[in-house]
Amino acid sequence: MLKKLFFVLPILLVLLACSKTAFTGRKQLNLIPTQTINQLSFTEYKTFLQQNKTLSSGKEVDMVRRIGNDLRAAVDVYYKAKNMQKDLKDFAWEFNVVDDANTVNAFCMPGGKVVVYTGILKVTQNEDALACVMGHEIAHALANHGNERMSQGMVAQLGLSSLDLALSQQPAATRQVLMNAAGAGAQVGVLLPFSRKHETEADEIGLYLMAMAGYNANEAGPFWERMNKLGGSRPAAFLSTHPDPAKRSQTLKSLIPKAQAYARRYPVTASSRYKK
């Protein structure tokens, strides 16, 4: 009886930990408390900024923070309309720019910690495309992709579905899973890409966010086409597990009417915007 209970309990815990992503409603496994993963994220984000050349002022910083706050306002408007504000209580939004012209990348860690490298600005070329990039990265955090990847890692690599149990039985391995899932340290957004399923979902949510924030969703497709051309025969690291460029542009184009409908239904007004 006890042996059977020991076998069934992890399954029950997994079932209880299932949730749905915002916007798309996809079912996912989230075993880690949001506060736990966010605190880890905040610590690693702080370390990352200290180890890289982070800009404190300038036109790039102003632009990134303005767009970031527009997207944040869109998130708040939508979550308030859906009575989901509690899902954002552990977020601590931050938008920073790293001066690295050779790195064509951006990322958002769990809890709303965003970094944009100056190298990607030569590809975005305009604020609408940058809003597409930042919306996509923020979508990863809103959809709890880090938590989902962490939870899958705990089950697949450790065979455990309880964080406390994993930490007590396999502390070193568990911490490594936590770090990898959060995209910690120097590997953030580069060596630990999300799955294609996550990337496709982030594309969709990001498109809705940029439209709600007042940006032109039609710029999403052309931006990803520029990103693909940048890699030549070898795709850029940013595209390593992203959807096929042609299919991606086609999918984004098909979602534009829905994104525009979101913008009409959940508009970001002047009173709901944040200052940079």
Residue 113 within any structural domain of the chain: yes
* 10 part of a folded domain: no
- Domain-located, residue 204: yes
Which of the pair, 43 or 214, is modelled with greater confidence?
A: 214
pLDDT band with cut points at 50, 70 and 90 for residue 25: confident
| Residue 148 domain flag | no
Asked whether residue 93 is domain-assigned, the answer is yes
Active site residue 204: no
What total number of domains does the chain contain?
1
Burial of 29 (0-12, 13-18, 19+ CB in 10 A): buried
pLDDT at 33: 80
170 or 149, greater pLDDT? 149
Question: Is 118 inside a domain boundary?
Answer: yes
In degrees and rounded to multiples of 5, residue 116 shows phi and psi of -120, 125
Burial of 31 (0-12, 13-18, 19+ CB in 10 A): buried
Does residue 19 belong to any structural domain of this protein? no
Q: What is the pLDDT of residue 41?
A: 82
Most confident of 131-145, 155-169, 235-249: 131-145
Q: What is the pLDDT of residue 269?
A: 86
CB neighbourhood size of 82 (10 A): 12
* pLDDT tens for each residue of 153-195: 666 555 555 556 666 676 776 666 655 554 443 343 333 456 7
User: Of 137, 148, 201, 204, which residue is the catalytic one?
Assistant: 137
Residue 144: which residues within 8 A CB-CB, separation 6 or more? 19, 21, 28, 30, 34, 110
Question: In this predicted structure, what is the pLDDT of residue 98?
Answer: 96
Which residue range is the domain that position 253 belongs to? 26-143+184-268
Instruction: Mean pLDDT check: name the lowest of 36-50, 73-87, 187-201.
Output: 187-201
**Residue 46 forms part of a structural domain:** yes
In this prediction the pTM is: 0.81
